[in-house]
Structure 1
């Protein structure tokens, strides 16, 4: 007997399947599953299902003095099954964050800030003494399943007079541990060309479509040569929308040049969730409908792509043996206005609307099911 069978679930390619879950993992996928189950959720060939959405750039350390939120608020209650905090904490606070994260139903991971103090100040890398390689490496050893990457913020307000030196130190640490490195780009100095030239395969540039002077496009509105080379080397592009770091104009020009992000992420925290322009990962995904991205590309950018880039084992796909992390959603036919970080507005005739999250608890051989407010309106019901 299965723990849960989801019947008549619509995939993003419009095909419909039944999905059986047992002991926190996907046990069977078929056109029709007739086996008995403790619980059944019938989506009536009406609602979509995908692997659980992964927001690969958030700020969800609730005790942070600057950028904070609750993992389950931006996670399971919003259709997101995994959230990755992007540098809110460094080695000094990772233990506290780990304990808080274990209390959430949402899967929580961390890009550990290369600065040991994390984001308790906006200028965490202006003092090079804040980079303590030994302390950092000890944190990686202690929390190997929690820390999935390294975060370094490379903008003028953060590094002060230190230029790219923090990035050079981060690359040295990365060489030892092999974890993905996420680089925040903002106002210069340091210049993006100098940053890009230091990056190697698998490094992640976040805020990749920001509209600041230090952006991926040159003065002629073409892709910088340094970025062409970086992308060719395998450098990853991440959206990291945030309150100040996404431009429709840059995204549109990049698309016309054949440049797409590998991952779509929100850079969400309480302020930009409550007051915009972020609101939710679903809202950011809807902006890419407005940019005429295919639905499959958008879904891949919040499921299989981040799972593979961040080496999240057994996540990102609907496949037998994978964790039962799933997002149930609608693509609602309703006009909406969408704003970027500069107040520019685009229109979309459709919206991503999360209805429910299913999160695997493999350690307990169980799952947690969270039906959203919109899901309740759609009368999603689990029968026993």
Structure 2
């Protein structure tokens, strides 16, 4: 069967279906054939002994409008580095330039790219090494009509509306851009992804506005604007938001993951729903590196391998309302990620410069998508 691939002898971990065992995963070109089933004639066999085979992993927060924005990275090279088969761009493009993003990047890529559309007309346009202009500073850029029209014109590719709020992102506009983004989300029936940075507004003020299915990204920020008090108590508004069904996404990036916050939240029993990288041109060489590096940081916090895989596969698939992603059942896309838990001391830096060491690092081996094996 042309396009069939056998991932032989790996430890298959499929949290959505409760699978964790050594097996041969057989993927057809158009469907998952199953575990330890007869191999189709002509199938390509990949030796996965000593590796971990997972559902095609999903990075819920990336910036891959390469060539169209200063923060974009090349989707294929990053997907290989992170062993992902789906990348979700978090608002790099707005309604003024989304068509170019779709035509020149999304449709040209072998990697599945979905997108949150920025409510700002030009997306994230002023993010650089020496220039930093928050696109939500000027309310004249909040393009409600245009965003609603563009989102409606690209169903299935645009999965939500993005807005960035905080002293850096929205500055004098404060929380007002969130009003516009919520109006667009209401009009289109799409969820929000909301960025926060330093106050004002406060973490509590922002998260108190979010609805079930909305994503609060950069959820384990350092002080100031952390999700917990100095003594480790989780803020009441954060707990209330979780009760409402708000999604908490790591989105490590250049400034949004702190060991201090992570330890306090973990001690309080508050885990993020999704592990994502917020990869862009200014954090790909550290401190975020890739989503496997971010997942390793949660291993260092005491999570199991199964837990971190779930947070980067079935959890983001549910956020995206994509029942065909994030698992290895018969209804899933025939995609898989192959990774390895490589032993050896690794120093893991947060965005404040604090380092925690761990005894191993998750590293990429390759992915299967589109009926092809893509080695890392």
Q: TM-score range by the shorter chain?
A: over 0.9
Matched residues in 2 for 1:123 and 1:337: separation? 32
Residue pairs, 1:238-277, within 5 angstroms: 238-274=249-285, 276-277=286-287
Matches within 5 A, 1:200-239: 200-239=211-250
Between the aligned partners of 1:8 and 1:33, the Cα distance in structure 2 is 14
- Give the TM-score, by structure 1 length: 0.90
| Structure 2: distance between partners of 1:51 and 1:102 | 23
User: Which of the residues 358, 361, 372 maps onto 1:368?
Assistant: 372
Please tell me whether residue 329 in structure 1 is matched to residue 330 in structure 2. Answer: no
Partners in 2 of 1:64 and 1:240 — Cα distance?
21
Distance in 1 (CA, whole Å) between partners of 2:82 and 2:194 is 26
Asked if residue 315 in structure 1 is aligned to residue 316 in structure 2, the reply is no
Q: Which residue of 2 aligns with 1:57?
A: 61
CA distance in 2: counterparts of 1:158 and 1:93, whole angstroms: 19
Distance 1:369 1:73 in 2: 14
2:102 equivalent among 98, 101, 108: 98
> Structure 1 residue 35: deviation in Å?
4.2
Task: Report the secondary structure of 1:173's partner residue.
Answer: helix
* SS at structure 2 position matched to 1:11: strand
Are 2:114 and 1:114 aligned? Answer: no
Residue 85 of structure 2: aligned partner? 81
- Contact 2:152-2:188 at 8 Å conserved across structures: no
Summarize the Cα distance change of 1:144–1:11 in structure 2 as closer, same or farther, 3 Å threshold.
same
Partner Cα separation in structure 2 for residue 323 and residue 284 of structure 1: 25
1:181 aligns with 2:192: yes
Give me the whole-angstrom Cα distance separating, in 1, the residues matched to 2:56 and 2:40. 24
Matches of 1:14 and 1:310, distance apart in 2: 24
* Contact 2:247-2:273 within 8 A present in 1 as well: yes
- Compared CA separation, residues 157 and 270, structure 1 to 2 (3 A): closer
> Could you tell which deviates more after superposition, 137-146 or 291-300?
137-146
State the Cα distance separating 1:37 from its structure 2 match: 3.5
Of the three residues 55, 69, 73, the one matched with 1:69 is 73
Q: What residue in structure 2 maps to residue 42 of structure 1?
A: 47
Give per-residue Cα distances to partners, 1:146-170, cap 9 Å, x unaligned: 1111111111122222222111221
Structure 2 residue runs of 5 or longer lacking an equivalent are 14-18, 127-132
TM-score, normalization: structure 2? 0.92
Q: How many residues align?
A: 363
Matched, 1:143 2:167: no
Alpha carbons 1:9, 1:43 under 8 Å: kept: yes
The yes-or-no answer on 1:296 pairing with 2:306 is yes
- Cα distance in structure 2, aligned partners of 1:77 and 1:335: 20
Q: Which residue of 2 aligns with 1:377?
A: none
Contact 2:55 2:313 (C-alpha < 8 Å) held by counterparts? yes
Measure the CA separation in 2 of the matches of 1:35 and 1:334.
Answer: 38
Counting only pairs closer than 5 Å after superposition, residues 279-294 of structure 1 correspond to structure 2 as 279-294=289-304
Please say which of residues 10-19 and 46-55 is displaced more in the overlay.
Answer: 10-19
